[in-house]
Structures are given as C-alpha cells and as structure tokens.
Structure 1
Amino acid sequence: MKDKTIDYILRATWQAVSRMYNEEASKYGATMATGFALLSIDKEKGTPSTSLGPKMGMEATSLTRTLKSMEEKGLIIRKKNPEDGRGVLIYLTEFGKEKRELSKNTVLRFNESVKKNISEEKLQHFVEVAEIINELILDKNIFVPTIGSEILEQIQSLDNK
C-alpha cells in the first residue's frame, strides 16, 4: 500500500474485476456491459433508454452500441414510451430474461466468493471508504484550493469591488 496510490488500487482492482466478468461472459457470447445492461433493465416494466446510461455509468455512444448488439442477439426489444412518444422503453425478451438470470448468478457467485474470504468487518470498512470517496467526488471536495483564509478573504473582497 505504501508505494501505491488509492486511485491505482481502485483502477487495478476494477480492471481485474472487469476482465474476470468479460472472461466469464465470453463463454456465453456476451460482454460484461451486456450482463450489466441485462441487470439494469426492469424485467417487468422495461426501462427508459435515457435512464440506462446514467444507471450504468456508460456514455451514450457505448450504450447505443451495447443496446444494438443486444437487440441483434434477441435479448431486448425497444418500444415507444406510451407516456412520452419521443422516448423509448427497453424490454427484456424471454431470452434476455434467461440471460439476466445467468448474469445475476454470476454476480452473486462473485459476491459469495469475496464474502467467504473477507471478514464482514473488513467488507463494511471497504463499503464505508468507497462511500466516502464517492461523496468527496460528488461534492467536488477533491481539488478544492487550499488557500489560507486571509488570502481567500482578499480575493473575495476584490471580487466584490
């Protein structure tokens, strides 16, 4: 830990998890993104396409490619939103629901394996640290200037003139 930065540890860990999921998904002709999308779509009511990107943390162009591939494989269908004719709802097909269960079981197996090897207390600390990091980022408290209060007051008084 001494030599590695926190962001390096987060990035390396996420890359390992991502690689693991992609290797598993490739056995079924899928990708991690496909599995994540299957899990993010409401299996009964469908999900507006516009809410999928933010829910999955994906850019619109990547999401569009993923959804197009999923539609071609018969995992999803798109229908106009009856409440908003401009919008589109994404629904899982029966085949998509089957693959969703497979994705769900894969995620649960990963969670079980981690829980078997890490104490509940350590996992709780991990969750707490991750939540604090997310809050710092969301609140934009990472790159806040550390200017002395006197200098800050001088700058603010100049702004008011």
Structure 2
Amino acid sequence: MNTVDALVQLSFQVQRILAAVGAEHDLSIVQIRLLGILRDRQPGMLELGQHLGLDKSSITGLVSRAEKRGLVQRTPSPHDGRGVLVALTPAGRRLAAQGEMQINRRITELTKALNATQRKQFTQLASVLVNP
C-alpha cells in the first residue's frame, strides 16, 4: 500500500470511530468536532467556522442545535459588541469528556498492532503532518 492509500484508509477508520461514538450520543461528526474544539477555548463564531471549515449560516445552525440540547451557550463578546463567544455548558463538558474517553479507547485499540516505539514514531510523524 502506498502512502496516499494508507492515509486514506486510516482516515476512513478514524471517521468510523468518530461516527460510532457520535451515534451513541446522537451527535454528528461535526458536532463531536465542535465539542472537541470548545474543550479548551471559547471562540467567536467566525473562529469556530474557520476551525470547522464551515460558513456563517452552517455554524449558526450547528451552534443553535447544540444550544437547544444544552451543550453550549453563547455569551456576548467583550471585544465586539455584535459578536458572541461559544462555550461548553457543564452538560456539554461532561459529554465531551465521555466522548473523548470513548474515542481514545477505540483509537488505542486501533493502534494496538504498533509497539510502544512505533506508536511514539507514528505520533511524531502524524504531528508533523497536521502541524506543518
């Protein structure tokens, strides 16, 4: 298998894991990504759209649906009178933590064929690719 095929196949496996964990919590992959982004920051809608690769109307809908479920809340931006910041609620934080544990467990299972040295090398190489 060449590099492209290997990366594509690996991405499919990771997407399956994310979809399975999401399905257990009635979340889409994009909603899982939203919760993951909000774990350690409170971005504005524009920044959130950039992280997720979504336009303004899509982000607004995504945040509105999560807000209706009690997972996120919007607060006025202290720096922009028209802007809002998006943050996890306590329920959203709990769900994000549960999802993270489940994803970590399944990714660990996925990488169990690698020994400790190979896992370390893989992590270093993948980090170079995602943070050029």
TM-score tier (shorter) = 0.7 to 0.9
Distance 1:121 1:54, change over 3 A: farther
Query: Which protein has the larger Cα radius of gyration, Structure 1 or Structure 2?
Result: 1
Cα distance in 1 for partners of 2:42, 2:130 equals 28
- C-alpha offsets along residues 103-160 of structure 1, whole Å, 9 cap, x if unaligned? 221232134334543112212332343345457xx6xxxxxxxxxxxxxxxxxxxxxx
CA distance 1:121–1:62, shift in 2 (3 Å): farther
TM-superposed deviation, 1:94: 2.2
Q: RCO greater where, 1 or 2, for CA within 8 Å and sep 6 or more? A: 2
Alpha-carbon separation, structure 2, partners of 1:20 and 1:80: 35
Q: Which runs of 5+ in 1 are unaligned?
A: 139-161
SS in 1 for 2:25: coil
Distance 2:79 2:44 in 1: 11
C-alpha distance in 2 between matches for 1:67 and 1:109: 27
2:89 partner amino acid:
T
Q: What SS does the aligned partner of 1:79 have?
A: strand
In structure 2, what is the Cα distance between the partners aligned to 1:84 and 1:41?
Answer: 19
Do structure 1's residue 72 and structure 2's residue 95 form an aligned pair? no
Between the aligned partners of 1:86 and 1:134, the Cα distance in structure 2 is 33
Q: What is the identity percentage for the equivalent residue pairs of Structure 1 and Structure 2?
A: 21
CA distance in 1, matches of 2:39, 2:91: 14
1:98 corresponds to = 94
Structure 1 residue 118 corresponds to structure 2 residue 114: yes
Is residue 2:15 matched to residue 1:18?
Answer: yes
Q: CA RMSD in A?
A: 2.6
Could you tell me which of 48, 53, 70 is aligned with 1:52?
A: 48
Length-normalised TM-score, structure 1: 0.66
Hey, which bits of structure 1, 4+ residues long, moved more than 6 A?
none
